[in-house]
Structure 1
């Protein structure tokens, strides 16, 4: 597994942890990182931190886009895994211009298939593709 995929999967786990714990403090991030210390390498850690901190810092803008383009779905009703995968992908759309949108969507779909439900891949793909095309990313 590549460093960026590993970073995305760890970021999903951290965001899931924060979402379920209703916490997003730096202390919670430290606890998560300490519990997964062996997974963090020189190639994984910087992108992981960019994703987690980026989603937290840009949360209202990210959730506004997610609300706008997820037809008939409120964020609070989305599966936690799907919601956080899409948040990371939208952050990449907004702030990671070095990553092609097609790569971001593909990674999100694959991670959704691995960690989500049977329908996660198609749901994530539909919402992210709608955002990408209608927002002009």
Structure 2
């Protein structure tokens, strides 16, 4: 392979990132939350099913189980937080994809203080653009930007 071809492949790899195990975990979380939101079944059923289907793949299954189950357990709290900053939108009026992308991202903001806010928001925007409608990315970005400032200020400041 020539040096020029190596450079081209390196540039292509930089422009088209390979999904990480955590990205795939977030994608599976969206699937599980969406399924549970639509069917009304407990998310654990969807989690078990998706773990079986993706066992041995390039998915961080532990992280998937953690964020899917944790999001579902705190869904009422997360919905209240989202509705507070989503101007003129009740959580039930938000498109199902967007609602569940927001839920899991807010859960990560609350429970993963070591993760960069930009990574969490960017991952959520990617999922909303891929599975939502053409306005989903901007909507999700706006809601998460507001919540991230509030959450990280609260999480990062020491209690007195």
Normalising by the residue count of structure 2, what TM-score does the alignment of the two structures yield? 0.77
- Per the alignment, residue 72 of structure 1 pairs with 88
Counterpart selection for 1:94 from 110, 113, 123: 110
Deviations, residues 78-136 of structure 1 (Å, cap 9, x unaligned): 10000000000000011011211111001101111111100000000000001112342
Q: Aligned-pair distance for 1:41?
A: 3.9
Counterpart selection for 1:11 from 23, 26, 29: 29
- Computed over aligned residues only, the root mean square deviation of the Cα atoms, in angstroms, reads 1.8
Tell me how far apart the structure 2 counterparts of residues 40 and 117 of structure 1 sit (CA, whole Å): 31
Tell me how far apart the structure 2 counterparts of residues 32 and 47 of structure 1 sit (CA, whole Å): 13
Tell me how far apart the structure 1 counterparts of residues 66 and 116 of structure 2 sit (CA, whole Å): 17
8 Å CA contact retained: 2:32, 2:43: no
Counting matched residue pairs gives 135
**Residues 98 and 68 of structure 1: CA distance in aligned 2, closer, same or farther (over 3 Å):** same
Structure 1 gap ranges (5+)? none
Tell me how far apart the structure 2 counterparts of residues 11 and 40 of structure 1 sit (CA, whole Å): 17
Q: Which has the higher contact order (CA 8 A, sep 6+)?
A: 1
Normalising by the residue count of structure 1, what TM-score does the alignment of the two structures yield? 0.90
Tell me how far apart the structure 1 counterparts of residues 101 and 50 of structure 2 sit (CA, whole Å): 18
Tell me how far apart the structure 1 counterparts of residues 82 and 112 of structure 2 sit (CA, whole Å): 17
8 Å CA contact retained: 2:28, 2:50: no
SS at match of 2:149: helix
Structure 2 gap ranges (5+)? 1-18, 156-160
Larger Rg: 2
